[in-house]
């Protein structure tokens, strides 16, 4: 493949981040601009032009733009999408509203549920029925459906979702329904559940299909405009989109199933972490990305982030499991908790110190920003503990107000709790670390793993500040802090492979599988996956295919992800599958059960092309000067208390440099904190490697 | 580990306490995850009928798992004390695990198994791990309220050593597995509990190593004192006085039941007395005192102190009494299998009293209290045995500011499962599962809607149906001028009605309709905003006819 110029763009809530890779010159350029929420393509165009200028490249030389966006997730959170009509099987229009019927908070009598994406009067039923075996019990009432179409037209709906019972098993009625709706309502996009989320469990499938319809008109408009504007500038290359599972896809595929883009930003972060894992030859990593409002943790093993088959979006009670919309789609498996630099400290009804999940965000921000924030935050505590410098925040662009912080912490935390201001700051820092540690430990334990066997990669503005404290609680002994922590995520767009994950539900006991049906499922999925990947321009011969299945003991409700071999399956495959299931089950739960039959619920296929490689040679940054040590200031560590600590300039540290902690290393977007029991080394890519103990 | 610069040993400042407690809760959560992810019991999975608890060396609770349901709140420490009476604490060895399912010692029916294990650290007994979970089977009549004595309801296991120094006590195993229908699943679930307790013990040892804490009792004391203080403040904010309420229920056939509730608030203490409640009946809806206590204090906390994290201290300021020999405190050997049919009604009794003291804090009675459950079992066309519960709930009662949630259970918390998964596991076709129009009690705030579920038998042979329901004759009343919700109805296509608390047979082709009850309304329906009524009519939650008749709607 010839040397290319590629740009990665991450449209976040506040900032749009850019990374440009110039393969011929082996250089990387980075940039950052404020997101233009009214039309995000404004910032994209302006930022791309500027980066090309800095790199000395013309737009016609730009091969590809890889893009991720929070547009989908924001539309779901703010419920600002299309007016959607839903068509369901007779008797099931309320599944979307009833959901799983549980209360996500056991003590709240005035609990609210997230509003259904489609209100009841826009949910229509038609007579039709497929059973669990995929057989037709009732034909599709086509005349009835045409009447529904007319009612939808009267209500001026902008998109339609169709979800019929057991359509994952037999999509014939949904497909016919789409044909009819297309005839009756030309130009209105129709999402059918058998294509958007072909998995058993009607609520989750309906929810996903409706969410897709909800964001589709918006994303179709946006993607169309972006392509037009880039084309108008003279861009002749390709635009790719990042999927929630960390693969990239074409604009055409993204327009069909835009809901798949919902986690594109976090997925890029995880892909970047995976890339750094390979670069630093670290087999197992906990990616730790802590920003202003949240912290995200993701396990990366063997160069791949953990993946899941579902997520919950648009939670109405922040971070409360069950308060959002379930989506069945392939996604990078990460946890996100309400712990960030802006997380506010408060005292609960028991008189205990709490931190988060409420956040001061960027506006008004922490007290120390002096922009009107009044409640003490994590960043404020970090300032008092010496981790942050009042004079070198954002590279010195913003002066931090230490006195205001002391006053706020004293009045709101220290006095009510009867402790010193220093102790209150220690408390805030420790409690937020503890929150993150407990969430991380739980997340890792559910995978049957032990955090001690992993290194941690810290990025985001607050990640490198808190990584040392977090690592101590989790007994992680190595921290990796990449160079340019502020744009690490955007780099993920340029190291992601073209990839796609497909699924079909077919529930069957392992001893009575219809192997011909399974062969057909896999043949279909493989054909579809290869076509999609070929569309990205990848070499068809280089595509790799992996298969897996969701399996469990009959009677259980949680599936275990079991890797399957490639090839043709026959009767004896059942024994092999069972052995694989036992092995996986034992790895996760330390035991297995004898004498209970095993079943498969869903069959999965992942296809990917090779990932591009990027060398980390940051253009636009001067070579390290060697004059790294800036001075000294008092910094607090649990072991030593508040004591003198060396301060280094990240940009002066050359590869190979090494020093003992305690140390604080300052860079523009963040500060790396290394405790007294550490050794810090700068590797060949200017990453800081912190070894603890 | 000392978190703060000035911390002294055993002096728990608000930072250390927060950190220690969140770690202990995380230990029980990790332990619970090990249990629930491998459970065969659908009740554990869909209904969260399980708990994992960490107790100090005295048997006082330190932490409970976050998602555990209220029926198990605070019961494990009581069960542990019963275990000590049978097996003195001194004779508990490392690796031991004691088991019991005695309804009076534990959670009120035989299907719930409770286990406890001692945790030793550096040779010293420092704590106990405990767990309770609902088993798929315990022998006996299984899923019926029609038994006359507990003996018919299955195998009763007195406190015995299930594991001795880490090794299974094979005699106990053989007894249990010899009495159940699905021995391998029961074995799997019992070991899921054992693994959960092992996780708890392992993680607690790490905690003790990390923190250097040797004795957990001061920590549990400090945590309980703070929870106690928060609850006392909440009670003290209520007007002192004595408040009464009555809840009527279908009971069993001719034995209609009545709950008489008297709540006395005196300063920072609350006493709840059920004198006057119906005597126990020779059917399985009697509710043991442990369960009565749990379902009395939980709704109080929801109403007046919902935000404080709970622990045993939360309930120290409350006392609960029920006459011995009543349906709320039955004598052995009363039948108790479906004790939830009585126990879930206590929330309504408590709120009936509390409404007089703090009307803005309560909700009307719930259609989903008690839960309406139906179990279908038999043999499918391929000859496989099946046993499937349809999970669905009635509507919640309305509150001062909110309409009741439709199809949501309270005071328990039951998930709905999936109809597609249900149909994949049993020869049954569900033709309908939808909200039930006009079933929410009218009120300024409307009760939550119940739902209608229609199920057809698609097997070749007759199957067994077990229904456990109430509210057929006694719908959920409204409160403060609100109207009652619609009652439960369980009816076949030919108009016949299977017994709502017993076992019956269904033929192939039979179509069963289960109508789940609506929640009660709150306040005068004539005060409901016209725009809100119009929205209810537009969406079909309320029919235009009912809107005119009950709300005086003129649209």
Helix (H) or strand (E) holding A474: helix A463-474
- Residue B336 belongs to domain spanning: 227-362
pLDDT of B514 higher than 90: yes
Chain A: give the shortest CA distance to residue B116, in Å.
20
pTM score of the predicted model: 0.95
Chain B residues within 8 A of A419 when measuring between CB atoms:
4, 6, 13-15
Nearest CA in chain B to A201: B418
Give the count of domains, chain B. 3
In eight-state DSSP terms, residue A410 is I
Domain assignment present for A400: yes
Same domain? B487 vs B514: yes
Cβ proximity of A286 and A299 under 8 Å: yes
Q: State chain A's mean pLDDT as an integer.
A: 92
Q: What is the pLDDT of residue A621?
A: 60
Same domain? B541 vs B439: yes
Edge-first strand order for the sheet with A190-192 is A123-126, A84-89, A159-163, A190-192
pLDDT digits (tens, 9 = 90+) for B10-68: 468 999 999 999 999 999 999 998 888 888 877 787 777 899 999 999 998 889 888 77
Same domain? A172 vs A32: no
Helix (H) or strand (E) holding B32: helix B14-36
pLDDT of A361 higher than 80: no
Residue carrying structure tokens 């542990």: B80
Question: What's the helix, strand, coil split of chain B in %, to 5?
Answer: 30, 25, 45
Chain B: give the shortest CA distance to residue A265, in Å.
29
pLDDT digits (tens, 9 = 90+) for A442-471: 999 888 899 999 999 999 889 999 999 999
Omega of the bond leading into B370 within 30 degrees of 0 (cis) = yes
Q: Residue A387 burial by CB count (10 A; 0-12/13-18/19+): exposed, middle or buried?
A: buried
Please indicate whether, in this complex, the C-beta atoms of B33 and A445 are within 8 angstroms of each other: yes
Same domain? B369 vs B428: yes
Chain A: give the shortest CA distance to residue B21, in Å.
10
Task: For B415-430, give one letter per residue: b (16+ CB within 10 A) or e.
Answer: bbbbbbbbbbbbbbbb
Q: State chain B's mean pLDDT as an integer.
A: 93
Q: Mutate which of A90, A107, A423 to test chain B, going by most B C-beta atoms within 10 A?
A: A107
Domain assignment present for B441: yes
pLDDT digits (tens, 9 = 90+) for A119-145: 999 999 999 999 999 999 999 999 999
Q: How many Cβ pairs within 8 Å bridge chains A and B?
A: 228
pLDDT digits (tens, 9 = 90+) for B481-493: 999 999 999 999 9
When CB atoms are compared, the residue of A94, A119, A200 closest to B421 is A200
Give backbone dihedrals phi and psi of A112, rounded to 5 degrees, phi first. -110, 145
Structure tokens belonging to residue A234: 């003279």
On whether ipTM exceeds 0.85, the answer is yes
Is residue A311 helix, strand or coil?
A: strand
Domain boundary among B215, B243, B259: B215
Same domain? A62 vs A203: no
Same domain? B199 vs B125: yes
Distance CA A662, CA A656 (A): 18
Chain B residues within 8 A of A434 when measuring between CB atoms:
18-19, 22-23
Same domain? B306 vs B260: yes
Domain assignment present for B8: no
Please indicate whether, in this complex, the C-beta atoms of A431 and B26 are within 8 angstroms of each other: no
Distance CA B427, CA A212 (A): 33
pLDDT band at A434; cut points 50, 70, 90: very high
Question: Average pLDDT for residues A28-52, to the nearest whole number?
Answer: 89
Please indicate whether, in this complex, the C-beta atoms of A557 and B195 are within 8 angstroms of each other: no
pLDDT band at A587; cut points 50, 70, 90: confident
Distance CA A462, CA B531 (A): 48
Same domain? A443 vs A559: no
Same domain? A208 vs A245: no
Domain assignment present for B4: no
Please indicate whether, in this complex, the C-beta atoms of A446 and B415 are within 8 angstroms of each other: no
Nearest CA in chain B to A595: B184
Give backbone dihedrals phi and psi of B32, rounded to 5 degrees, phi first. -65, -40
pLDDT of B1 higher than 60: no
In eight-state DSSP terms, residue A598 is E
A600 vs B34, residue with greater confidence: A600
In eight-state DSSP terms, residue A485 is G
Please indicate whether, in this complex, the C-beta atoms of A420 and B362 are within 8 angstroms of each other: no
Same domain? B198 vs B77: yes
B464 vs A557, residue with greater confidence: B464
Q: What is the pLDDT of residue B42?
A: 78
Chain B residues within 8 A of A137 when measuring between CB atoms:
429
Residue carrying structure tokens 């997101």: A35
Domain assignment present for A58: yes
Same domain? A409 vs A444: no
Same domain? A249 vs A269: no
Name the nearest CA neighbour of B291 among B264, B320, B318, B260.
B320
Domain boundary among A544, A578, A608: A608
The alpha carbon dihedral of B17, B20, B22, B24 has a sign of negative
Same domain? A58 vs A83: no
Same domain? A158 vs A247: no
Same domain? B417 vs B555: yes
pLDDT digits (tens, 9 = 90+) for A237-276: 999 999 999 999 999 999 999 999 999 989 999 999 999 9
When CB atoms are compared, the residue of B37, B70, B229 closest to A106 is B70
Cβ proximity of A342 and A360 under 8 Å: yes
pLDDT band at B555; cut points 50, 70, 90: confident
Please indicate whether, in this complex, the C-beta atoms of B15 and A100 are within 8 angstroms of each other: no
pLDDT band at B100; cut points 50, 70, 90: very high
Cβ proximity of B395 and B450 under 8 Å: yes
Residue carrying structure tokens 């054992």: B194
- Residue A213 belongs to domain spanning: 79-219
pLDDT band at A620; cut points 50, 70, 90: low
Structure tokens belonging to residue A238: 């390709």
pLDDT digits (tens, 9 = 90+) for A622-663: 667 666 888 999 999 999 999 999 999 998 999 999 999 899
Please indicate whether, in this complex, the C-beta atoms of A431 and B30 are within 8 angstroms of each other: no
Q: What is the pLDDT of residue A2?
A: 56
When CB atoms are compared, the residue of B184, B305, B538 closest to A121 is B538
Residues 6+ apart with CB under 8 A from A599: A507, A508, A509, A510, A551, A552, A553, A554
Same domain? B278 vs B304: yes
What whole-number percentage of chain B has pLDDT above 90? Answer: 83
pLDDT digits (tens, 9 = 90+) for A400-430: 999 999 999 999 999 999 999 999 999 999 9
Q: Mutate which of B419, B451, B511 to test chain A, going by most A C-beta atoms within 10 A?
A: B419
Q: What is the pLDDT of residue A1?
A: 44
Residue carrying structure tokens 């039979």: B510
Same domain? B340 vs B205: no
Same domain? A682 vs A557: no
Distance CA A320, CA A331 (A): 19
Chain A: give the shortest CA distance to residue B302, in Å.
5
Q: Mutate which of A433, A557, A597, A639 to test chain B, going by most B C-beta atoms within 10 A?
A: A557
Same domain? A214 vs A255: no
Domain assignment present for A472: yes
Please indicate whether, in this complex, the C-beta atoms of B416 and A98 are within 8 angstroms of each other: yes
Edge-first strand order for the sheet with B241-252 is B241-252, B255-266, B269-273, B318-321
Determine the straight-line distance between the first and last CA of chain B, rounded to whole angstroms.
68
Nearest CA in chain A to B368: A101
Domain assignment present for B150: yes
Domain assignment present for B114: yes
B244 vs B185, residue with greater confidence: B244
Same domain? A142 vs A204: yes
Give backbone dihedrals phi and psi of B509, rounded to 5 degrees, phi first. 90, -15
Chain B: give the shortest CA distance to residue A16, in Å.
36
Q: Mutate which of B13, B15, B185 to test chain A, going by most A C-beta atoms within 10 A?
A: B15
When CB atoms are compared, the residue of B46, B401, B423 closest to A110 is B401
Q: What is the pLDDT of residue A563?
A: 96
Domain boundary among A495, A524, A544: A495
Domain boundary among B151, B181, B215: B215
When CB atoms are compared, the residue of A168, A200, A434 closest to B19 is A434
Q: In the Cβ-directed half-sphere of B114, how many Cα atoms lie within 13 Å?
A: 31
Q: What is the pLDDT of residue B108?
A: 95
Please indicate whether, in this complex, the C-beta atoms of A101 and B416 are within 8 angstroms of each other: yes
Question: Average pLDDT for residues B458-467, to the nearest whole number?
Answer: 96
Please indicate whether, in this complex, the C-beta atoms of A350 and B308 are within 8 angstroms of each other: yes
Chain B: give the shortest CA distance to residue A556, in Å.
5
Domain assignment present for B3: no
Q: Mutate which of A115, A125, A323, A350 to test chain B, going by most B C-beta atoms within 10 A?
A: A350
Please indicate whether, in this complex, the C-beta atoms of B30 and A349 are within 8 angstroms of each other: no
Chain B: give the shortest CA distance to residue A451, in Å.
13
Same domain? B331 vs B344: yes
Domain assignment present for B236: yes
Residues 6+ apart with CB under 8 A from B532: none
Considering only CA atoms, give the Rg of chain B. 24
A595 vs B85, residue with greater confidence: B85
Structure tokens belonging to residue B86: 């049978």
Question: Average pLDDT for residues B323-336, to the nearest whole number?
Answer: 98
Give the count of domains, chain A. 6
Same domain? B380 vs B343: no
Same domain? B353 vs B374: no
Same domain? A414 vs A427: yes
Domain assignment present for A511: yes
Domain assignment present for B7: no
């Amino acid at each position: 493949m010839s040397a290319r110029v590629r740009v990665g763009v991450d449209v976040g809530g506040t900032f749009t981040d850019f990374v440009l890779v110039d393969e011929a010159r082996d250089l990387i350029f980075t940039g950052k601009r404020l997101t233009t929420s009214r039309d995000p393509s404004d910032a994209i165009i302006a930022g791309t032009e500027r980066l090309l200028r800095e790199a000395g490249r013309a737009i016609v030389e730009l091969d590809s733009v890889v893009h991720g966006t929070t547009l989908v997730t924001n539309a779901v959170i703010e419920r600002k999408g299309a007016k959607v009509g839903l068509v369901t099987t007779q008797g099931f229009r309320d599944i979307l509203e009833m959901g799983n019927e549980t209360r996500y908070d056991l003590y709240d009598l005035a609990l609210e549920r997230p509003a259904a994406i489609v209100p009841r009067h826009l949910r229509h039923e038609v007579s039709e029925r497929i059973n669990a075996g995929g057989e037709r019990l009732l034909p599709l009432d086509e005349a009835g459906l045409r009447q529904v179409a007319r009612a939808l037209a009267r209500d001026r709906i902008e998109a339609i979702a169709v979800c019929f019972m057991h359509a994952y098993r037999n999509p014939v009625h949904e497909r016919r329904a789409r044909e009819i709706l297309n005839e009756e309502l030309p130009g209105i996009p129709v999402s059918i559940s058998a294509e958007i989320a072909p998995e058993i469990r009607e609520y989750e499938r309906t929810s996903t299909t409706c969410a897709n319809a909800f964001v589709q008109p918006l994303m179709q408009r946006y993607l169309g405009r972006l392509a037009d504007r880039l084309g108008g500038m003279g861009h002749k290359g390709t635009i790719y989109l990042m999927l929630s599972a960390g693969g990239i896809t074409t604009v055409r595929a993204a327009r069909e199933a835009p809901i798949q883009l919902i986690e594109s930003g976090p997925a890029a972060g995880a892909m970047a972490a995976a890339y750094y894992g390979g670069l630093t030859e670290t087999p197992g990593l906990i990616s730790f990305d802590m920003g202003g409002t949240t912290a995200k943790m993701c396990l990366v093993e063997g160069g791949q982030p953990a993946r899941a088959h579902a997520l919950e979006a648009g939670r109405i009670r922040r971070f409360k499991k069950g308060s959002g919309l379930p989506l069945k789609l392939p996604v990078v498996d990460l946890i996100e908790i309400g712990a960030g630099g802006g997380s506010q400290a408060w005292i609960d009804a028991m008189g205990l110190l709490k931190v988060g999940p409420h956040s001061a965000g960027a506006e008004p921000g922490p007290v120390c920003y002096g922009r009107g924030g009044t409640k003490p935050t994590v960043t404020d505590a970090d300032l008092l503990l010496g981790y942050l410098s009042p004079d070198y925040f954002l590279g010195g662009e913003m002066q931090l107000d230490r006195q205001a912080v002391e006053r706020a912490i004293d009045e709101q935390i220290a006095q009510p709790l009867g402790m010193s201001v220093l102790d209150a700051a220690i408390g805030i820092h420790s409690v937020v670390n503890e929150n993150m540690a407990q969430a991380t430990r739980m997340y890792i334990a559910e995978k049957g793993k032990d955090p001690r066997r992993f290194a941690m990669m810290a990025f985001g503005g607050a990640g490198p500040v808190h990584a040392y404290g977090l690592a101590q609680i989790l007994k992680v002994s190595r921290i990796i802090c990449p160079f340019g922590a502020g744009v690490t995520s955007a780099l993920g767009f340029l190291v992601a492979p073209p990839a796609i994950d497909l699924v079909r539900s077919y529930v069957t006991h392992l001893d009575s599988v219809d192997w011909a049906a399974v062969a057909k499922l896999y043949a279909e999925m493989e054909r579809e996956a290869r076509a999609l990947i070929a569309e990205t321009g990848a070499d068809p011969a280089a595509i790799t295919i992996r298969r897996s299945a969701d399996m469990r003991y009959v009677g259980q409700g949680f599936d275990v992800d079991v890797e399957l071999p490639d090839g043709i399956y026959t009767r004896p495959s059942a024994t092999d599958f069972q052995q694989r299931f036992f092995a996986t089950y034992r790895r996760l739960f330390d035991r297995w059960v004898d004498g209970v039959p095993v079943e498969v619920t869903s069959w999965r296929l992942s296809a990917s092309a090779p990932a591009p490689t990027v060398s980390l040679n940051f253009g636009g940054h001067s070579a390290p000067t060697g004059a790294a040590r800036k001075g000294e200031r008092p910094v607090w560590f649990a072991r030593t208390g508040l004591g003198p600590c060396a301060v280094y300039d990240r940009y002066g540290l050359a590869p190979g440099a090494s020093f003992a902690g305690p140390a604080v290393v300052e860079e523009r977007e963040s500060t790396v904190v290394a405790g007294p029991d550490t050794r810090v080394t700068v590797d060949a890519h200017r990453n800081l490697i912190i070894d603890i103990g | 580990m000392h978190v703060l610069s000035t911390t002294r040993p055993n002096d728990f400042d608000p930072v250390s306490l927060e950190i220690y407690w969140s770690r202990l809760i995380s230990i029980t959560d990790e332990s619970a995850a090990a249990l629930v992810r491998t459970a065969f019991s659908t009740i554990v999975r869909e209904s969260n009928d399980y708990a994992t608890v960490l107790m100090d060396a005295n048997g006082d609770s330190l932490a409970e798992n976050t998602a555990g349901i209220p029926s198990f709140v605070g019961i494990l420490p009581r069960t542990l004390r019963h275990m000590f009476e049978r097996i003195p604490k001194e004779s508990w060895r490392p690796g031991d695990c004691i088991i019991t399912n005695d309804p009076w010692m534990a959670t009120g029916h035989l299907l719930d198994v409770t286990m406890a294990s001692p945790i030793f650290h550096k040779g010293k007994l420092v704590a106990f791990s405990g767990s309770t979970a609902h088993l798929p089977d315990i022998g006996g009549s299984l899923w019926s309220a029609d038994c006359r004595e507990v003996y018919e309801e299955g195998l009763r296991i007195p406190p015995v050593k299930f594991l001795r120094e880490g090794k299974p006590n094979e005699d106990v195993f053989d007894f249990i597995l010899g009495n159940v229908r699905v021995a391998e699943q029961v074995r799997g679930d019992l070991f899921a509990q054992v693994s959960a307790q092992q996780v708890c013990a392992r993680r607690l040892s790490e905690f003790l190593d990390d923190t250097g804490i040797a004795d957990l009792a001061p920590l549990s004391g400090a945590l309980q004192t703070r929870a106690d203080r928060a609850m006392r403040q909440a009670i003290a904010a209520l007007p002192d006085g004595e408040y009464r309420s009555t809840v009527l229920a279908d009971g069993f056939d001719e034995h209609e039941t009545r709950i008489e509730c008297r709540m006395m608030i005196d300063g920072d203490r609350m006493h709840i007395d059920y004198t006057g409640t119906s005597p126990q009946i020779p059917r399985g809806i009697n509710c043991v005192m442990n369960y009565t206590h749990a379902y009395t204090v939980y709704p109080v906390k929801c109403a007046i102190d919902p935000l404080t994290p709970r622990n045993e201290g939360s309930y120290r300021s409350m006392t609960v009494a029920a006459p011995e020999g009543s349906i709320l405190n039955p004598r052995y050997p009363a039948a108790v299998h479906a004790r939830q049919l009585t126990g879930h009604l206590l929330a309504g009794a408590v709120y009936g009293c509390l409404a007089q003291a703090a009307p803005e804090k309560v909700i009307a009675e719930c259609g989903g209290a008690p839960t309406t459950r139906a179990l279908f079992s038999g043999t499918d066309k391929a000859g496989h045995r099946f046993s499937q519960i349809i999970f669905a709930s009635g509507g919640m009662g309305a509150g001062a500011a909110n309409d009741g949630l439709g199809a949501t259970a309270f005071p328990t918390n039951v998930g709905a499962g999936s109809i597609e998964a249900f149909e994949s596991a049993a020869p049954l076709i569900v033709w309908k599962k939808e909200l039930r129009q006009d079933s929410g009690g009218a009120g300024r705030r409307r009760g939550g809607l119940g739902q209608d579920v229609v199920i057809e038998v698609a097997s070749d042979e007759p199957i067994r149906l077990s229904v456990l329901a109430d509210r057929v004759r006694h719908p959920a009343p409204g409160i403060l001028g609100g109207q009652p919700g619609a009652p439960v109805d369980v009816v076949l296509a030919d108009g016949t009605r299977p017994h709502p608390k017993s076992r019956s047979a269904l033929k192939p082709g039979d179509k069963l309709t289960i109508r789940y009850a609506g929640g009660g309304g709150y306040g005068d329906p004539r005060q409901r905003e016209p725009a809100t009524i119009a929205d209810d009519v537009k969406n079909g939650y309320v029919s235009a006819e009912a809107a005119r008749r009950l709300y005086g709607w003129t649209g």
